[in-house]
A and B are shown apart, each in its own frame.
Chain A
Amino acid sequence: MLQISNLYKTFNANTINEKQVLNGVNLQLTPGDFVTIIGGNGAGKSTMLNMIAGVHFPDEGSLVLDGIDITLLPEYVRAQYLGRVFQDPMMGTAADMEIEENLALAYRRGKKRGFRWGITKEEKELYVEKLKTLDLGLETRLTSKVGLLSGGQRQALTLLMATLQKPKLLLLDEHTAALDPKTAGKVLELTDQIIRANSLTALMVTHNMKNAIQYGNRLIMMHQGKIIYDVAGEEKKNLQVTDLLSKFEIASGEEFANDRMILS
C-alpha cells in the first residue's frame, strides 16, 4: 500500500540551525491499516506526513503509494491520491467561500478542472446527504461562509472534504490538537466512523497516548527521526499508557518528559 524506504531529511543543512528531522524512516502499510503515530516534539511525525503529502521533499529515500512512485511528484499532483486534515482548523478550508463551494473543490480533487460550472445541482444533494452524517446541522447552511464555522465544525468539514473522493491514504496531522477536549473527542469519533465506513488506510499523528491506543489497529512511536516502536493487533489493543512510557524510556534511553503527552 504505502512503502516508505530509508527516508532522510535535514533542515537548514550546514548552518548552525541544522536539524536532522528524519533519520532513515522505513514503514510499510497494508491496505486498511489505521496507524496512530506518537512521539515527542521534533520526533519527525509531522515532517514524515508532510513528506508523504509533498510539502517537503526528502534528501534521500523513496515513497511508493499503491505501486506509484510519488517521491518526486509535486504536492498538487499527488493530492489526487491523498486526503489530508491539518492541525490548524484554518488550513483545510477556504474561509471566504461557502460550505458547498469548499465541498465542490474537494469533490474535484484529482479531476481536471475546466470551464464547466463549478458546482452542480446533483452535487448539492450529495453534499446535504454527506453533511447529515456529520450531525452538526451543517446541511442547512450550505451557503454559509466557512469562516463563520467553529474550529470543530471546520475540522469535521475538512475531514468530509478529505474523504469525499475516496483517498488511497488519509493523512491526519494532529487534527484534534487545536480543539477543546469535548469537540476533539467528537471529531475523533467521526474520524473513526468515516475510516471504518469507507475502509480507508490512514495515518494519524496524535499527542494523546490514550487516543493512540484506543483508535486504529497499529501504533508507531517516533523518536529523533526514527521509528522506535511498532505494534499491531492484539498486542496493541492491550497496551496501557504506562507501557508506552516505559517502552519509550527503554527504546530511547531517555525519560519521557512531555507534559502534554502525560497529562492528556
Chain B
Amino acid sequence: MDNIMSIVMAIFGATSQGLIWSILALGVYITFRILNFADMSCEGSFALGGSVSAILVVGLHWNPFISIIFATIAGMLAGVITGFLHTKLKIPAILSGILTMIALYSINLRIMGQANTPLLGESTIISIVKGLLPAAKAIGMKDSTLQYWVILLVGLLFAAAMIAILYWFFGTEIGCGIRATGSNEAMVRAQGENTDRMKTFGLVLSNGLIALSGGLVTQTQGYADVGMGVGAIVVGLASIVIGEVILHKRISFAAKLISIVIGSVIYRIIIAVVLQLGLNTNDMKLLTAIIVTIALSVPVLKKNKTKVVREGEV
C-alpha cells in the first residue's frame, strides 16, 4: 500500500514537473519542427533563464514574476545571437547553436558568480501562489502535496498561455512566413520575404520560451545550476516525439501543441516510474536517450512491410 501510494505521489509530482518543462518542449518544437533548424543554443538559454531568474530574486530581491520576464528577454537575446551567427556570418545552423550554447556557459557563471544559486529563504513564484491559498493543514493536506498542486496549477496556467500565444502567432502573416521558411526557403524569398529575418524571429521566440521554462524550473526546484540545461534539447525532443507517437501526426496545429505538453508529462511519468523501480538519477540521461530512440523508431517499425508474392504462389 505504501509502495503504491509513493508511486501515485511520484506520478503526481511528475505531472506537475512535466507541465513546467513542456514550455521548453514548445520552444524546441519551434526550431526543430517548424523552422527545421537544429538549434543547440537551447541548452544554454535554458540555464540562462534559470540563472537570470535566480540572481534577480536572490541578489536584487526582485519579484519572482518579474524575474522570469527578464529571464525570457535574456533567452530572446540568446536567440538573436544564434540568428546573427547563422544568417549574417553564414555559420551552419548546428554550429551557430553550439557556439551560443558554449558561450552561455561562461556567461551564466558570470551572471551567478558561482555554479549554483539556491533560492533559500527567498519568495518564489510557488511560495507566492501558495501564500494565496489556505494553509495545508487547514484543508487537511500534507504540505508537500499542496506544493505539488501549486506547481501543477502554475504549470497549467503557463502552458495554456503559451499554447494560446503560439497558436495566435503562427496564424499571423509573420508566423506563416516562419512556417513557410521551415518548409521551403527558396519559395519564401521568391514571395518577397526575408528568410534571414524569419529564422531570427523563430530563434528569438524559441529561446525566449526555453529561458522562460528554465526560469520556472528554477522557481519550482528552488535553485539554479549552471549545468541545468545539459540534455535539455533531448528532453524537449522526447516530449515532442512522444506526443507525436501518441496522437496521430495529421492533427490541427492547436492539437499538436497540446500533444507536446501531454508528451512532456508522459515523459516525466516514465522517468518517475522507472526511478521508483530502482534506477537512480544518474541513469536519467541514458534513459532519456532510450525513450527518444524508441519513440522515433515507432513509425519505422509500424510501416507496412511489402508482401512479396512470386509467380505460382498464392
- What residues make up the interface of A, taking CB atoms closer than 8 Å to B? 53, 74-77, 79-80, 82, 84, 86, 90-97, 101-102, 104-106, 108-111, 113-119, 161
Contacts and interface: CB of A to CB of B under 8 A. Distances in A.
Given A95-B184, A96-B179, A96-B183, A108 B173 contact: yes
Contact of A118 (B171, B186, B187, B190): B171
23 contacts: A76-B189, A76-B193, A77-B192, A79-B190, A79-B192, A86-B186, A90-B184, A91-B186, A92-B187, A94-B179, A96-B183, A97-B176, A101-B176, A101-B180, A105-B180, A105-B191, A108-B191, A109-B192, A111-B192, A117-B172, A117-B173, A118-B171, A118-B172
A87 to B, nearest CB: 12
Contacts of B187: 91-94, 105
Interface of B: 171-177, 179-180, 182-184, 186-195
Contacts of B179: 94, 96-97, 101
Contacts of B194: 74, 76
A153 to B, nearest CB: 16
Contact of A109 (B174, B176, B191): B191
Contacts of A82: 190
A203 to B, nearest CB: 15
B193 A94 contact: no
Nearest to B34: A96
Contacts of B184: 90-91, 93-95
A113 B190 contact: no
A118 B192 contact: no
B180 A94 contact: yes
Given A93-B184, A95-B183, A114 B189 contact: no
B195 A118 contact: no
A80 B171 CA distance: 22
Contacts of A113: 173-174, 177, 193
Contacts of B188: 76, 94, 105
> Sorted from nearest, which 6 A-B pairs have the closest CB atoms?
A79-B192, A118-B176, A94-B183, A113-B173, A96-B183, A109-B192
Contacts of A114: 172-174
B191 A161 contact: yes
A84 B172 contact: no
Contacts of B176: 97, 101, 104-105, 118-119
Interface centre among A82, A90, A96, A119 (most CB of B within 10 A): A96
A79 B189 contact: yes
A162 to B, nearest CB: 8
Contacts of B174: 113-115
Contact of A75 (B171, B177, B189): B189
Given A91-B184, A94-B183, A118 B189 contact: no
Contact of B190 (A84, A97, A104, A108): A84
Contact of B177 (A53, A79, A91, A105): A105
Contacts of A108: 173, 191-192
Contacts of A111: 192
Given A84-B190, A105-B191, A118-B171, 18 more contacts: A76-B192, A94-B179, A94-B184, A95-B183, A97-B179, A105-B193, A106-B191, A109-B191, A110-B192, A113-B173, A113-B193, A114-B173, A114-B174, A116-B172, A116-B173, A117-B171, A117-B172, A118-B172
Nearest to A108: B173
A74 B189 CA distance: 9
Contacts of A104: 176
A105 to B, nearest CB: 5
A161 B191 CA distance: 9
Contacts of A84: 190
Given A93-B187, A94-B180, A94-B184, A80 B192 contact: yes
Nearest to B33: A96
Nearest to A118: B176
A106 B184 CA distance: 13
Nearest to A111: B192
A76 B194 CA distance: 6
A97 B171 contact: no
Contacts of A97: 176, 179-180, 183
Nearest to A84: B190
A154 to B, nearest CB: 11
Contacts of B175: 118
B301 to A, nearest CB: 23
Contact of B173 (A74, A93, A118): A118
B195 A76 contact: yes
B107 to A, nearest CB: 31
A118 B193 CA distance: 14
Contacts of A93: 184, 187
A82 B190 CA distance: 8
